[in-house]
Amino acid sequence: MRVLLDTHTLMWASIVPERVGPAASAAIRDPNNEIYVSAASAWEMAIKIGIGKLTVPGGLAVFLVDAMKEWSLIPLHVRNEHTIIVETLPRHHNDPFDRMLVAQCLYEGMSIVSIDGKLDEYGVTRIW
């Protein structure tokens, strides 16, 4: 299975794993799954760090490198095809980063690992 981590899932799995739901934790740890992290999540984290709403151990660069290694994450770049899907999405969710993650899941045929139940309205498979 191919799964995309929501930004909070990436952070929680690395910093406070007890906050991750049991199905989400199992999906992340399953060696048969391909686990992706979006450039949109790194961008979201960078913005929040820059405005003082978020801190991560060692800073963003160290955090991302460590998380990528620890969870054998595969980077997912933002493609033009993803942005075109964002344009067509209904406004179930106002967060632009979550909307991008939904678009990436829809285009790439991935499930999303997220606590956010609002994402269900887009028809993506959500694991938590």
10-residue stretch averages of pLDDT, the chain, 128 residues long = 98 96 97 98 98 95 96 97 97 95 98 98 98
The per-residue pLDDT for 13 is 96
Distance CA 9, CA 24 (A): 8
Asked if 113 contacts 38 with a C-beta cutoff of 8 angstroms, the reply is no
Count helices and strands (H / E) in the chain: 6, 5
The verdict on pTM exceeding 0.75 is yes
Contact 57, 95 (CB under 8 A): no
Q: Which residues are bridge partners to 35 per DSSP?
A: 3
Q: What domains are defined for the chain?
A: 2-127 (3.40.50.1010)
Query: Do 82 and 64 form a contact (C-beta atoms < 8 A)?
Result: no
Q: Which of 21, 15, 1 is nearest to 109 (CA)?
A: 1
CB atoms within 10 A of CB 19: 14
CA distance 41 to 32: 23
